[in-house]
């Protein structure tokens, strides 16, 4: 292999990585729980962008239910972001498969 070709490929790889980082920041996905009583939107870096809780989900006598709904909505959103990232990276890599686990954001 020609060493100059390797340097050219490194530049292309660096470009693709910058493009991937930009794409990650632009991705958003929403997870829901309890029949949409709790909605959480995350960006591609797994940061919470928006939380919506319906008044019906708030029962001062049963806070554990609300906590479970928030956890479930967050996990749903994480799974949706991972899927969007997998699709985006797979397109960039010419269809090579990617494991959703490589993106972190553990559920």
Answering whether pTM is above 0.85, one says no
Average pLDDT over residues 76-95: 81
Q: Does residue 35 sit in helix, strand or coil?
A: coil
Within 13 A of 21's CA, how many CA atoms are on the CB side? 5
What tens digit of pLDDT does each residue of 13-58 get?
A: 788 778 877 878 889 999 999 999 999 999 998 999 999 999 999 9
Assign 107 a pLDDT band (cuts: 50, 70, 90).
very low
Domain segments of the chain: what residues?
3-95
Q: What percent of the chain lies above the pLDDT cut of 70?
A: 79
Is the model more confident about 100 or about 32? 32
Return the sign of the alpha-carbon dihedral for residues 65, 67, 73, 79: negative
With beta carbons less than 8 A apart as the criterion, state whether 69 and 37 touch.
yes
Give the CATH number of domain 3-95; options: 2.60.120.1570, 3.40.190.10, 3.30.1310.10, 3.40.50.720: 3.30.1310.10
What would the two tokens of residue 54 be? 């319906």
- How far lies 67's CA from each of 19, 60, 93, in Å? 36, 12, 39
In the predicted structure, residue 101 carries a pLDDT above the cut 80: no
User: Can you give the pLDDT at residue 9?
Assistant: 78
- Cα Rg, the chain, nearest whole Å: 19
């Amino acid at each position: 292999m020609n060493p100059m070709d390797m340097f050219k490929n490194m530049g292309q790889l660096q470009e693709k990585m910058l493009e991937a980082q930009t794409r990650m920041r632009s991705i958003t996905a929403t997870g829901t729980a309890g029949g949409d009583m709790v909605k959480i939107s995350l960006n591609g870096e797994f940061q919470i962008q928006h939380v919506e809780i319906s008044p019906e989900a708030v029962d001062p006598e049963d806070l554990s239910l609300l906590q479970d709904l928030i956890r479930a909505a967050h996990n749903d959103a994480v799974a949706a972001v991972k899927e969007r990232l997998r699709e985006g990276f797979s397109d960039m890599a010419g269809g090579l498969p990617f494991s959703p686990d490589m993106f972190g954001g553990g559920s």
